Amino acid sequence: MILEAYACSDVGVQRPGNEDNLYFNGLIKEEAVESFKHYEKINVKKNRAVFGVFDGMGGYAKGEHAAYITADTAKMFLKDNKSGNPEELLNKICVEANTKVCDEIKNDSGQRMGATLSMLYFEGGKYSLCNVGDSPIYIMRKGELKRISLEHTEAATYIKIYGEAPPKDKKFPLTQHIGMSENLARLNPYCITDNIMEDDIFLICSDGLTDMLEDAEISRVINSSRPLSGIGKILLNNAIDRGGKDNISFVLIKATDVPKIELPKRKTPKTESVPEKKKEPEVKAESKKSEVKTKKEKSEKKSDKKKELDAEELSERKAAGKVIVGTILFIIVLAVISFIKISDSNANSFDNVDTQDSPESQVTDIQ
């Protein structure tokens, strides 16, 4: 990946000195130097490239010193740490710079000073962003300018109260900056990492540029077909022509020959192979007909046999019924005959008794 970079820091028109500083892949603006310009093409194949802008605050001397401490901290830290997770490295720079500026405040009778921090770290087809404060970072991608940093100001409170974006010329106190005492608030840098696309252009700048130029004008200048250094000169001149009320510092970076980053392939679960069903041999039409016929004959035979069995069973049942009826009739006849005989016997016995006891028979016997 090739990075074409152009950096500029200028005192502007109205300020007595330059409170801004910047970091250009190992280079910084020395303290008490009013301006800085540098252009370079960097081949980022195995190594990294890092850039940053730091806007000092607290009055000329104090703001300049705080911005220089922050830039120098980045320089020394990155010199000693050649590799590591980009976001972790950038976050450590913020913490270390904050500690140094806070120590400087204590050593200087508590006089307030501080700086913003906005940095980009390029490595392996990706960029990592880190910012503290309100110095913006933009990306120009496919003709569209977009802010990708997070503004640490009380502007969000204004939007909540009034329901609209604040006026362009209205400045809000910072909620995050380098030089924050832990007693007041916790330092919370904003960090993100994303892929780089071919011909992406990045802009890191102080508010001395964005206070003078609208985003639409910055976009038109960057979108022009001029070389990167020419774009930088036009941005600086336009900001000065509009008044140059603050120090103007920025770094422009254009990425080309960007490696394509392949997304990790999804692991597809292994599926067990299902054995194919054996195909049944084809049967000729005639054999199929004979099979059907045979099945039909068998069915008919079964039906006939069932009918025969049903007929035999019916006849057997009828015969058994006849036997039972005959037996019952025979028993009834015997019972009737027995009853008659008994009746006759009883009648004869009654007749004999009556003849013996009658008076006429007795008279006859005496005579």
Answer yes or no: do 309 and 249 share one domain: no
User: CB–CB of 10/18 below 8 Å?
Assistant: yes
The answer to the question of residue 272 being in a domain is: no
The pLDDT assigned to 203 comes to 98
DSSP sequence for 215-267: HHHHHHHHTSSS-HHHHHHHHHHHHHHTT--S-EEEEEEEEESPPP-PPPPPP
Answer yes or no: do 244 and 134 share one domain: yes
Answer yes or no: do 13 and 80 share one domain: yes
Which of the pair, 302 or 351, is modelled with greater confidence? 302
Which of the pair, 105 or 311, is modelled with greater confidence? 105
The answer to the question of residue 318 being in a domain is: yes
In 3-state terms, what secondary structure has residue 335? helix
The answer to the question of residue 358 being in a domain is: no
Q: Which tokens belong to 299?
A: 């069915």
Per the structure, the complete domain to which residue 197 belongs is given by 2-256
Percent of the chain predicted with pLDDT > 90: 57
The pLDDT assigned to 283 comes to 46
Which of the pair, 313 or 283, is modelled with greater confidence? 313
The answer to the question of residue 295 being in a domain is: no
What are the pLDDT digits (tens) for 116-148? 999 999 999 999 999 999 999 999 999 999 999
- Asked if pLDDT for residue 99 goes beyond 70, the answer is yes
Which of the pair, 320 or 54, is modelled with greater confidence? 54
- d(C-alpha 137, C-alpha 116), whole Å: 12
Report the predicted TM-score, pTM, of the whole model to 2 decimal places: 0.70
- d(C-alpha 121, C-alpha 139), whole Å: 14
Contact partners, residue 302, CB within 8 Å, separation at least 6: none
- Other C-beta atoms closer than 10 Å to the C-beta of 52 total 29
Answer yes or no: do 310 and 250 share one domain: no
Answer yes or no: do 200 and 344 share one domain: no
Query: What average pLDDT score do residues 48-53 get?
Result: 97
How confident is residue 359, by pLDDT bands cut at 50, 70 and 90? very low
The answer to the question of residue 289 being in a domain is: no
Q: How many domains does the chain have?
A: 2
Answer yes or no: do 82 and 216 share one domain: yes
Which of the pair, 221 or 301, is modelled with greater confidence? 221
Which of the pair, 258 or 60, is modelled with greater confidence? 258
Domain boundary among 256, 288, 314: 256
Answer yes or no: do 33 and 133 share one domain: yes
The pLDDT assigned to 364 comes to 35
Domain boundary among 222, 240, 256: 256
Answer yes or no: do 210 and 323 share one domain: no
Domain boundary among 224, 256, 288: 256
DSSP sequence for 18-51: --EEEEETTEEPPTT---EEEEEEEE-SSS-EEE
Answer yes or no: do 215 and 329 share one domain: no
The closest alpha carbon to 132, from 120, 149, 154, 157, belongs to 149
Which of the pair, 58 or 20, is modelled with greater confidence? 20
What are the pLDDT digits (tens) for 260-308? 866 555 555 454 444 555 555 444 445 555 655 666 666 666 666 566 6
Answer yes or no: do 143 and 236 share one domain: yes
In sequence order, the β-bridge partners of residue 119 are 52, 130
Answer yes or no: do 60 and 153 share one domain: yes
The pLDDT assigned to 300 comes to 63
The answer to the question of residue 293 being in a domain is: no
The answer to the question of residue 366 being in a domain is: no
Output the domain CATH number for residue 112: 3.60.40.10
The answer to the question of residue 69 being in a domain is: yes
Least confident span in 19-23, 37-41, 164-168, 211-215:
164-168
Answer yes or no: do 183 and 314 share one domain: no
User: CB–CB of 90/70 below 8 Å?
Assistant: no
Q: How far is CA 63 from the centre of its chain?
A: 44
User: CB–CB of 96/73 below 8 Å?
Assistant: yes
